[in-house]
Amino acid sequence: MPVSTVSRKIAELEDRLGVRLLERSTRQLKLTDVGIEVLEHAQKSVEISDAVEGVVSRTREEVSGTLRLSAPPNISDSLLVPIVTSFQEEYPEVSVHILVTDRFVDHIAEGVDLVFRVGPLDDSNLVARKVLRYRHQLVASPKYLESHDAPAKPLDLLKHRLHAFSFWSPSNRWTFVHGGKSETIKFKPCLAMNDYLGLATALAAGAGIGDLPPVVCPELIRQGKLVEVMPDWRFRTEDVSLVHLSNRHIPKLVRLFKEYTTRRAPALFQDLPN
């Protein structure tokens, strides 16, 4: 920096503080008592600034720390766990805490970094990144269909033992879409459970007909233990998204997991029904 610029900046500082920091003569400069004290504080300020820059730099370079996630039960075992375990293989210094719940999660109050959300996003203050899109499938076991007439349209389902994801609700409804039109049926399930994994087990055992998201026990369809019923009448598609509070200054660990999940999830579930 040119000497003239230094002299001007010091003069401006003296004017702003209302004190003299340097004694000047034609041959030398000497700090005043106030100038000595101000210099000491300025040096400490520089040291603190350097320390802060160091912390930020190390944080950007290292991938470690604790990642706090939340997800609904129906994707926790088949989607979330495989992604988290493979992510930790790549970044072994990362710890992951997972809250499995169907309820709304307050990101700030509960200290959650990322939430897996199924369905539309209602809160405009949140940012969502879609990781999967699929539709539920109406399924039954071949064993059940051998002893019951297979339904051809939604109203035929009312003659069958229907299983539904529900919690203390006396009745349920399903809405199907076919050829641009929709049809809704309302029914009282013979088995209602707020756990898709349990429903999948019951359906595979031949207990009735029910709807399942294709990320729950996909091997049951691959192995032929469950088959799709009324494939021309379809449920609407849903998105699985990663949701967080803001796109500004996202911690590196959160950003890495978000990008990793976006790449990994479609590879886990190929050819999802839409």
pLDDT value at 69 more than 80: yes
* pLDDT tens per residue, range 126-166: 888 999 999 999 999 999 999 999 999 999 999 999 999 98
- Which CATH superfamily includes the segment(s) 65-132+238-268? Periplasmic binding protein-like II (3.40.190.10)
Average pLDDT, the chain: 88
Of all residues in the chain, the percent with pLDDT exceeding 90 is: 50
In CATH terms, 3-61 corresponds, of 3.50.50.60, 2.40.50.100, 3.20.20.140, 1.10.10.10, to 1.10.10.10
pLDDT of residue 155: 96
pLDDT of residue 57: 53
In angstroms, the Cα distances linking 110 to 98, 164, 242, 269 are 12, 30, 16, 30
Q: What is the mean pLDDT of residues 16-25?
A: 87
258 Cβ contact list (under 8 Å, min separation 6): 114, 129, 242, 244, 250
Asked if residues 219 and 139 have their Cβ atoms less than 8 Å apart, the reply is no
Give residue limits of the domains in the chain. 3-61, 65-132+238-268, 137-234
pLDDT of residue 212: 94
Q: What angle do CA 167, 228, 135 make, to 5 degrees?
A: 60
Interaxial angle between packed helices 252-268 and 81-90, expressed in degrees from 0 to 180 and rounded to the nearest 10: 120
**Selected residue with higher pLDDT from 127 and 26:** 127
Residue 61's pLDDT band (cuts 50, 70, 90): low
pTM, 2 dp:
0.68
pLDDT of residue 128: 86
224/103 Cα distance (integer angstroms): 33
**Selected residue with higher pLDDT from 122 and 191:** 191
pLDDT of residue 271: 81
Q: What angle do CA 134, 71, 227 make, to 5 degrees?
A: 35
> 133, 105, 109, 107: which is closest to 119 by C-alpha?
133
**Domains 65-132+238-268 and 137-234 agree in fold:** yes
Residue 105's pLDDT band (cuts 50, 70, 90): confident
Between β-strands 237-244 and 127-135, what pairing exists: parallel, antiparallel or unpaired? antiparallel
pLDDT value at 49 more than 90: no
CATH of domain 137-234: 3.40.190.290
